[in-house]
Structure 1
């Protein structure tokens, strides 16, 4: 699983960087502190048909179920 630190970046940058990481394959764990990040990342996951998980405050995971 890839890790992406997008703290300090305003949306849409966390979602854009997550999309780039997802193109390389596998699940991505994202650290993002923009209040809009959860909504943007959830939308990215939905468009790609992937699972979106909120792990903790400012910590998210996108990937296929079980990835």
Structure 2
């Protein structure tokens, strides 16, 4: 639903942010998405739920903008 671009995201892409993930890495620290469907064994989420990426530094630019 949303994946903002913040200064920390640009710093991560530049390689100057204190947290440096191993390449290949996806930019983006923050975002929100919506669950569209779940498997039969999933009980914690339902379609329509809003979710945030976890663990931190998951990489929201690819996951939310291109999925």
TM class, shorter-length: under 0.3
- Please, what TM-score do these two structures have when normalized by structure 2? 0.21
Answer with 1 or 2: which has the greater Rg.
2
Structure ranking higher in strand proportion: 1
Structure ranking higher in helix proportion: 1
- Please, what TM-score do these two structures have when normalized by structure 1? 0.21
